Structure 1
């Protein structure tokens, strides 16, 4: 769910950077594990109530639709990561394959994701504690969380890759326990009273429009699958990266599908969740396994959200710093690095201020805003495959090339466009306003399109910064 922070190492052919280069030590499954950790598997329970209500009890179908679209997009990421192995962002692919100005706009849309991802983690934790400790005012949770995370990132911008790997194991174990408990209850007549049924996928009252709306929401669960591109320079071979991206999507999708399937069998409607449909994870844990399992599941979700929040907070702070250092944003403010902590303190505090908005927003609204930026990125990554391979390289004259470089990415673009049509109206309005601001700002920094905008890929090395910052970022 979070976007990680990283600095690309030199390629094998480049001269070693001061301090040495990253060691190519990560195998296929190590990279897939890191990718799954960033996707945060427990998020399936966070949005379950929202999607179940939207789809009339067909959450697995929504995940299946989203999985197909994400898998097609993963194929495009796999192709582009071979072209630009030291980067990993839709912004870079669009800038280099299509046009710098268009790349800027895609990056600007993605910046909205970056700014809101720390907030959504604070929101998830707030919703957990509202149910477990109902007497605790929600604003207290958000303020304490934000102050803690902001302070940690201000002091050190170390990533949380290793922690995410540990959390992945814990989360999967908790989800296996959920399936076991649910199977036992289903065999004793709870919920649908069976462990084999097509009802979670299709039944009377389910419409394709509703499923597409649900699929738009659950795309939120897949955000972060492209994070594995940050490990390209540490992979034992660049050839494993397309497979690593695809496996991350497929395994993550399988975890979501299985969990959603059994959750839907156990809870055909949202009635058991009462007023807590916005994030029923604590209620799911309580109803399936009692107070002890509720504590286990909430703890898994809580710690995963915290780790995700740390990673995403550090990532957007660093991206803002890159924008500042390259004069995309005012350098004196956004490019400032504290001389003692060697961290972009202003940026970290700024992101913390945005995170405080978690006091008032709902999960489905924030997820929709984030999905706006994500769908922009996914759409254009698919487009870059067509432009780079079919147009620029002319690889369109054989049936195989047309299938790989036109049909598959084109189909992914169309399906992503279908999800676009189902986005919440507020998300489209907010996203449109954000894009308009970005376009106006682009006019200013390019002097009316007379000069190219400067780069601001989050993985871009930052010049003029104390080396310790580069080591920690």
Structure 2
């Protein structure tokens, strides 16, 4: 850390297993429970294909994250990578873009969980559940990374147990004649297939994969450093990809009226719970709804606050956000103010969007747009770093050149076919970032990253690093 001009303040307590669990919790191994109907409609029933394309795109992206986290093992994620590999001002805009994802995610998770809980306990209003989820998660994160680590394991075991029960019940139901029987239609349907259709479905289903990238913000919390973070990202994506395809395959075959779901969509968000009811009755439908609420509202929300607070911390210590966000609790070794701000924004956005009928879909579209755009920047950062001959090579030619180009191509197709409103609002947020950047430059606060040589337009060179060490 010293070679990049930073004083280590976060404790390295997370092992590979801890990081893997964080990734599985952040992506939520039962994530499709909550958005199955939307992905089914967008993919014209080929929901498994949509998730398969999504996991390929994310594995390619994870490779570039691995390259960059080894090159720059700091907590700033895409903000630090773009800032050091391309230029500090690009890093600021990249950080600004990913904030659209990170800041919105906790509020979105609270809103989805609250909606699920009203299906279980309709007497409690949505706003009350949002307050409960936000306050509880903030309290747990303020206790320190060890507390969240222990709770993550318990949440993961519970989610996997519910998923296993659903898969067993679903397969037994299919063998007994329920649903539409075994078919490869959820994987590929030649009568419905269109490239743009699948790309649009991937842009919706991408929400299920968001979270593997947040592991890069924990590079300063990991015992094994950057290499462990990279390994955990790949492993988490591989495990969740298989689980996502398995559960959506079974669920797609249990949909009683596929044509109606494709035509009318799933405005109530109950499509997956309906398949659970077909598989085993109301008790399984209630159990899967409750599991979704707890997984999104507590487990996923808790680690989402961890990632968001660390991004705020990384940008603030470089002077690109208010300094109070860079303060770390000496007792708990957590960015306290970042956690509190994340909680406050999550509460406000959750309550605001709860009043809109399209609140969940609007927030989800914006989160996905910000994430996809930032993933493209990560790939560009790898390519930019390779163009600087003074930089030490940290990966082979395939990972340094071929995979980033493939990743950019896939993600551009996805973002072009994304929700139009999300595109407009996402680019509006980016334009606002450009305005903020212009004001910073005009007031003499040009973006800079610690440890960088002002004479260099790009990242720290080995010569500069050696000079700092001397």
Provide TM-score, normalisation by structure 1: 0.81
Provide the C-alpha distance between the structure 2 equivalents of 1:350 and 1:109, rounded to a whole number of angstroms: 16
1:362 maps to which residue? Answer: 359
Q: Quick one: which of 45, 54, 57 aligns to 2:45?
A: 57
Q: Quick one: which of 200, 216, 234 aligns to 1:213?
A: 200
List aligned pairs for 1:7-406, cutoff 5 A: 22=12, 26-27=15-16, 29-87=17-75, 89-134=77-122, 136-146=124-134, 148-149=136-137, 152=139, 156=143, 160-194=148-182, 197-203=183-189, 204-229=191-216, 230=218, 234-236=222-224, 238-267=226-255, 269=258, 271=260, 277-305=268-296, 306-313=298-305, 315-317=307-309, 319-320=311-312, 323=315, 327-331=319-323, 343-344=336-337, 345=340, 348-359=343-354, 360=356, 361-392=358-389, 402-406=397-401
Contact kept, 8 Å, 2:2 with 2:8, in 1: the verdict is: no
Over 3 Å counting, the alpha-carbon distance change for 1:303 and 1:131 in structure 2 is: closer
CA RMSD between the two structures: 3.6
Q: Quick one: which of 431, 435, 447 aligns to 2:426?
A: 431
Q: Which region of structure 1 is more displaced relative to structure 2, 155-164 or 289-298? A: 155-164
Instruction: State the shift of 1:339 in Å.
Output: 12
2:456 maps to which residue? Answer: none
Provide the C-alpha distance between the structure 1 equivalents of 2:44 and 2:235, rounded to a whole number of angstroms: 30
Provide the C-alpha distance between the structure 1 equivalents of 2:220 and 2:319, rounded to a whole number of angstroms: 28
Q: Does 1:444 align with 2:446?
A: no
Provide the C-alpha distance between the structure 2 equivalents of 1:228 and 1:43, rounded to a whole number of angstroms: 18
Over 3 Å counting, the alpha-carbon distance change for 1:372 and 1:314 in structure 2 is: same
Unaligned runs of 5+ in 1: 1-9, 457-473
Over 3 Å counting, the alpha-carbon distance change for 1:99 and 1:379 in structure 2 is: same
Instruction: State the shift of 1:313 in Å.
Output: 3.5
Provide the C-alpha distance between the structure 1 equivalents of 2:131 and 2:390, rounded to a whole number of angstroms: 52
Provide the C-alpha distance between the structure 2 equivalents of 1:173 and 1:393, rounded to a whole number of angstroms: 50
Contact kept, 8 Å, 1:115 with 1:316, in 2: the verdict is: yes
Provide the C-alpha distance between the structure 1 equivalents of 2:386 and 2:44, rounded to a whole number of angstroms: 42
Contact kept, 8 Å, 2:369 with 2:426, in 1: the verdict is: yes
Provide the C-alpha distance between the structure 2 equivalents of 1:412 and 1:103, rounded to a whole number of angstroms: 19
Q: Which region of structure 1 is more displaced relative to structure 2, 407-416 or 259-268? A: 259-268
Instruction: State the shift of 1:138 in Å.
Output: 3.3
* Aligned positions, number: 436
1:453 maps to which residue? Answer: 447
Contact kept, 8 Å, 1:128 with 1:281, in 2: the verdict is: no
Instruction: State the shift of 1:130 in Å.
Output: 3.5
Contact kept, 8 Å, 1:146 with 1:356, in 2: the verdict is: no
